Amino acid sequence: MKGILRDLENISQRVEQPSKLYVRLIFHRINLMAKSLGEVLDYAEAVVGKEILNKRKSLTMESFAKETMENLKIIMDIVEKNFVRKEEYNPSMLISTLERLNMYVDKAIKFFEFHKKILEDLKSSYWLNVTFTLQNLIEDLQTIKKGNYEIIEYFKKHKNP
How would residue 27 be classed by pLDDT, with cut points 50, 70 and 90? low
Q: Residue 161 has what pLDDT?
A: 47
How would residue 68 be classed by pLDDT, with cut points 50, 70 and 90? low
Q: Residue 38 has what pLDDT?
A: 63
User: Using CA atoms, how far apart are residues 148 and 136, in angstroms rounded to an integer?
Assistant: 18
Q: What sign results for the dihedral spanned by CA atoms 81, 82, 83, 87?
A: positive
What is the reported pTM? Answer: 0.59
Averaged pLDDT for residues 2-22: 53
Determine contact, residues 75/101, Cβ cutoff 8 Å.
Answer: yes
DSSP E strand boundaries for 18-63: none
Q: Residue 150 has what pLDDT?
A: 81
